[in-house]
Amino acid sequence: MGTLEIRKSNGKIYSFIRQKDLVCTPEEEVRQNFICKLVNDFGYPIELMAEEYSPDLKTRGVRSTRADIVIYENEEKKNNDYNAFIVVECKAEEVKIRLEDFYQGAEYAAKLRAQFLILHNSKETHFYAVDMEKAPNKRDAFTQIVTIPHYDDILDKKKIDAIKKQTKAFTREEFTKMLRTCHNIIRNNDKLSPEAAFDEISKILFMKIRYERDKNGSEVFTLKKYKQLEEDYEKYTRPTLKRQGVDLPYMQIMFNDTKDMISSN
């Protein structure tokens, strides 16, 4: 399937998973937008997703719960109701993600034995890895991480394990150590003074913050992403700028945009 784009008309929004129009509520629009992102940015096929999925038995006395989006590793697991891979809980854009939402999503993920949980409201996206060795109803079974795997990587255990270790929280010691390492690399490789090396680190940090803020926290600014953006800039944008008398490398363009963002706030 190619790139997905939201389809809205006459108060309705199209569900690619259920293949029908639904009432376009604020929460439904957030959900359909995020489904497009899961397909376009992370490569997950629509055929491996389910919406409004209830993991509960339909028996008297059992409370029915419905997960907004469920993603499976393959068709066999989906068709046979085996363990899910990712569970997504969506909220309307104006609804702030609260602790109660985490516990609701965690309940769905636990019932479906999913490896990852996502909480999303279009302004915020929280990713969690699930420790399958711990009791699924315990808070410490969920660790906030920076992203989820791309569909192409779900069979690569090493990559999955590496992603689960990319935790969201940094201790002060970890952050200081990372900055010191980056500072030394820049200073030694580019033969810069300590002050100049620190200036370069500051530029990179501010550009990373701006990019991830623009993406509402739903995407991490990685080296791979930078190279992709730089390649597109060199191929499509820089030739046009040259004809207009502007010839700057992508890093400088990105930093200029970041400065403009900061000065306008």
194-203 confidence digits (pLDDT tens): 888 888 888 8
| Measured distance CA(98)–CA(161) in Å, rounded | 27
pLDDT at 58: 45
What type of residue is 249?
A: P
Per DSSP, helices labelled H in 43-123 are 75-79, 99-112
pLDDT at 186: 83
Is pLDDT of 173 > 50?
A: yes
Judge residue 248's burial from the number of C-beta atoms within 10 Å of its C-beta, 0-12 exposed, 13-18 middle, 19 or more buried. middle
Per DSSP, helices labelled H in 81-193 are 99-112, 157-164, 172-190
> If pLDDT is split at 50, 70 and 90, which confidence band does 56 have?
low
Is pLDDT of 138 > 70?
A: no
| Measured distance CA(257)–CA(210) in Å, rounded | 9
Is pLDDT of 105 > 90?
A: no
pLDDT at 52: 86
Is pLDDT of 4 > 80?
A: yes
| Measured distance CA(141)–CA(37) in Å, rounded | 26
Residues 6 or more apart whose CB falls under 8 angstroms from that of 222 comprise: none
> Is pTM beyond 0.75 here?
no
Judge residue 76's burial from the number of C-beta atoms within 10 Å of its C-beta, 0-12 exposed, 13-18 middle, 19 or more buried. exposed
